[in-house]
């Protein structure tokens, strides 16, 4: 256990569930995902889900996930509003960072919204530095409406459906041209060498990317007719087993016409597969941003965040050799 003043940080147990859900359900006007994942996080044997007590009262929590043994990812840091600004988050962060260093991670990262001043101040003062990010896009239209709009846009740009191929299985191996294109994309370069997935970023490593593509949706539109071609990688997730799955566009990149065609193909498949919603995090001022806006997506915080700034910021903790060697 780790003590800072009267704050105690320890691993969570099922006895903490109700209080964790209570704090989560009062965060961000009830729009927090924590109540959906709390039980899974407590019972998971992967990662560290820690809680903090101030004078014996559970008042905050946070999680260290391992997207791969080398890559630590911090998420779900929350402190009950009644206990904020008393060092609780800092104590949780320190506990999780120590756990990450003991596990020997080579990267330790997290992402937050550009307008989350508290989180940014906390983490920059702890030594985290900005390494990239993207514009988070969502949309009120149904997947059916989006699919129709994407088809219309693709047709207007002169793209035909047969331009796009959905790739599967062997075509998505770690050494495949598709995965090589994903890993060398401008998207990955603008997100600190990680694969964006909404507010989460995954290691941009060949095996990891291949696993995402095999379990998700992968499309390729070859070069041709004055167009650069395009690739699209999307993954599926659901907040809880009872929720309808949602899609996240991880990488959409290429020429305008081919991007529109790849998007139309993906949205057709999402509609067929009953996907409830589709979001994306894409590079600032990019072709894909314009294509997604062209079918009805809006960039979150559009009016408050300059167009060349990410709305989701990725942070990295510069790990030195000494930290890796510490017991």
Ligand X SMILES: CC(C)(COP(=O)(O)OP(=O)(O)OC[C@H]1O[C@@H](n2cnc3c(N)ncnc32)[C@H](O)[C@@H]1OP(=O)(O)O)[C@@H](O)C(=O)NCCC(=O)NCCS
Residue with Cβ nearer ligand X (37 or 230) = 37
* Residue 88 within binding range of ligand X, rule CB under 6 A: yes
Give Cβ neighbours of residue 249 (< 8 Å, ≥ 6 apart): 232, 233, 234, 266, 278, 279, 280, 282, 292
* Least distance to ligand X, CB of residue 62, Å: 8
* Residue 77 within binding range of ligand X, rule CB under 6 A: yes
SS3 track for 167-193: CCHHHHCCCCHHHHHHHCCHHHHHCCC
Stretch that binds ligand X, among 85-93, 177-185, 187-195, 218-226 (CB under 6 A): 85-93
* Residue 115 within binding range of ligand X, rule CB under 6 A: no
CB-CB neighbours of 169 under 10 Å: 9
Number of residues engaging ligand X in binding (CB under 6 A): 19
* Least distance to ligand X, CB of residue 265, Å: 34
* Residue 29 within binding range of ligand X, rule CB under 6 A: no
Which residues are paired to 304 by β-bridges? none
Distances (CA, A) of 237 to 139, 216, 225, 240, 297: 17, 9, 35, 9, 20
* Residue 130 within binding range of ligand X, rule CB under 6 A: no
* Least distance to ligand X, CB of residue 126, Å: 8
Residue with Cβ nearer ligand X (90 or 293) = 90
* Residue 27 within binding range of ligand X, rule CB under 6 A: yes
Taking alpha carbons only, the member of 64, 49, 62, 58 closest to residue 89 is 62
* Least distance to ligand X, CB of residue 77, Å: 4
Taking alpha carbons only, the member of 247, 246, 263 closest to residue 255 is 263
* Least distance to ligand X, CB of residue 122, Å: 3
Residue with Cβ nearer ligand X (63 or 135) = 63
Return the residue of 10, 26, 36, 90 that touches ligand X, per CB under 6 A: 90
* Residue 85 within binding range of ligand X, rule CB under 6 A: yes
Stretch that binds ligand X, among 63-71, 109-117, 215-223, 276-284 (CB under 6 A): 109-117
Cα–Cα distance measured from residue 182 to residue 82, given in angstroms and rounded to the nearest whole number = 44
* 55: DSSP letter: T
Stretch that binds ligand X, among 115-123, 185-193, 206-214, 311-319 (CB under 6 A): 115-123
Cα–Cα distance measured from residue 133 to residue 125, given in angstroms and rounded to the nearest whole number = 19
* Residue 94 within binding range of ligand X, rule CB under 6 A: no
133 — alpha (psi -120 to 50), left (phi > 0) or beta? left
- Contacting residues toward ligand X, per CB under 6 A: 27, 77-79, 84-90, 112, 116-119, 121-122, 125
């Amino acid at each position: 256990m780790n003590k800072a003043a009267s704050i105690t940080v320890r691993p969570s147990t099922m006895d903490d569930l109700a209080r964790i859900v209570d704090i989560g359900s009062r965060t961000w006007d009830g729009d927090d995902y924590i109540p959906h994942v709390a039980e899974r996080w407590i019972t998971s044997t992967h990662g560290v889900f820690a809680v903090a007590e101030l004078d014996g009262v559970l008042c905050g929590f946070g999680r260290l996930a391992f997207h791969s043994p080398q890559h630590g990812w911090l998420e779900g840091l929350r402190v009950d509003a009644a206990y904020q600004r008393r060092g609780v988050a800092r104590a949780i962060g320190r506990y999780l960072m120590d756990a990450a260093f003991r596990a020997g991670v080579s990267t330790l990262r997290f992402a937050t919204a550009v307008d989350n001043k508290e989180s940014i101040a906390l983490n920059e003062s702890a030594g985290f530095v900005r390494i990239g990010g993207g514009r988070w896009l969502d949309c009120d239209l149904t997947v059916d409406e989006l699919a129709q709009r994407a088809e219309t846009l693709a047709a207007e740009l002169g793209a035909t459906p047969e331009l796009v191929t959905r790739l599967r299985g062997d075509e998505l191996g770690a050494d495949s041209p598709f995965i090589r294109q994903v890993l060398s994309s401008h998207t990955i370069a603008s997100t600190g060498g990680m694969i964006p997935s909404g507010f989460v970023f995954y290691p941009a490593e060949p095996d990891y990317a291949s696993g995402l593509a095999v379990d998700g949706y992968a499309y390729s539109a070859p070069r041709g007719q004055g167009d650069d071609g395009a690739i699209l990688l999307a993954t599926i997730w659901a907040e809880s087993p009872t929720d309808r799955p949602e899609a996240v566009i991880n990488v959409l990149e290429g020429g305008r016409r081919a991007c529109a065609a790849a998007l139309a193909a993906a949205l057709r498949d999402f509609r067929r597969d009953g996907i409830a919603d589709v979001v994306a995090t894409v590079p600032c001022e990019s072709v894909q941003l314009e294509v997604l806006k062209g079918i009805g997506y809006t960039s979150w915080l559009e009016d408050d965040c300059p167009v060349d700034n990410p709305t989701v910021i990725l942070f990295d903790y510069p790990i030195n050799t000494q930290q890796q060697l510490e017991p």
